Amino acid sequence: MSWTCPSCSHKPKLIDEYLSFAPKLAETIDSFDPKFFAQLATLEAKNFWFRSRNRLIIWALQRYFPQATTFLEIGCGTGFVLSGIEKAFPELTLYGSEIFTTGLGFANQRLCRSELFQMDARKIPFKDEFYVIGAFDVLEHIQEDKTVLAEMYRATQKGGGIVLTVPQHPWLWSQADDNAHHARRYRAQELKTKVDRVGFTVVRMTSFVSLLLPLMLLSRLRQRRPNPNYDVMSELRISGVLNFLLENILNLEFIMIRHGISLPFGGSLLLVAKKL
């Protein structure tokens, strides 16, 4: 793969065979621990939360961006979201970026036709390039989230937009957030204000993981006291029967969202905005 900047003729270097726009950060940034990629790659496809979130993201793209031609996922991780989008949108030109080249290696094994590269979301090297840009549980890891949103606006084509998911409600903060290197959990109005201020127009915002919020709160309350032996992946290792039950509960919630109900509370938040 090769690429040359049309403005300055800069050619980014390759790291592990991927174009690297921020090579100094490829393995050193502390917003996520790359050792978790291997575990995520084995758990995502079976876990109710990842599967339900994928259905919601794909629906949002179909509902709000039916004319999309190009899509970039920021922080694509192991490629689980992109793999679902590949299947749902066979005509869409897809790109995935990740700050860690370790994650890109796992994504490459999972994906068929997405172009992958290493990039710092705070310095997106494109302007008016992508019809839709997605960031799914990524912004909460980055202190400079307003900078990332402004860069997303600059890189999005007019008429296109963004799809975001983030963890919601600061009062749900627990050791899980500490171990995941979260900078914040969002309030809905906080995220909307930040998106509005960079120039986007919000067209849909809803909570999700709402019907499971009481269970989530109980789980988080147990994690308020630090546990030196805490396993950050423990919540993803759920028995088959329980996993099936929880996924069906979120399927009911998905039906509500599809029919126009915007849920006020939930463990996560979905936001769709357009660049008009």
Domain count within the chain: 1
Mean pLDDT of 25-41: 72
- 44-59 burial, b at 16+ Cβ within 10 Å, e below that, comes to beebbbbbbbbbbbbe
Say what percent of the chain tops pLDDT 70: 92
pLDDT in tens, 110-126: 999 999 999 999 999 99
CATH of the domain at 84: 3.40.50.150
pLDDT of amino acid 166: 98
| Residue 138 · residue 53 · CB < 8 Å | no
More confident residue, 229 or 8: 229
Residue 13 maps to a domain:
no
Integer Cα distance of 234 and 215 in angstroms: 15
For the ranges 44-53, 58-67, 98-107, 189-198, the lowest mean pLDDT is seen at 98-107
Contacts (Cβ under 8 Å, ≥6 apart) of 228: none
pLDDT in tens, 163-208: 999 999 999 998 888 888 899 999 999 999 999 999 999 999 999 9
pTM over the 0.85 mark: yes
152 in a structural domain: yes
Return the pLDDT at 203.
Answer: 98
* Mean pLDDT of all residues in 68-92: 97
What does the block give as tokens for 34?
A: 């790359």
Q: Is 137 a domain residue?
A: yes
Residue 10 within a domain: no
Distance, in Å, from the CA atom of 34 to the CA atom of 123, rounded to the nearest integer, reads 21
Residue 7 lies in a domain: no
The C-alpha atoms of residue 38 and residue 24 are separated, in whole angstroms, by 22
The alpha helices in the chain, defined as continuous H runs, are 36-43, 48-64, 80-88, 101-110, 145-155, 175-179, 188-197, 213-222, 240-258
Residue at 12 is within a domain: no
Residue 204 belongs to a domain: yes
What average pLDDT score do residues 233-245 get?
86
Output the average pLDDT for the chain. 91
Domain coverage including residue 154: 19-274
pLDDT band at residue 5 using 50, 70 and 90 as cut-offs: low
- Give me the pLDDT at residue 46, please: 93
107 found inside a domain: yes
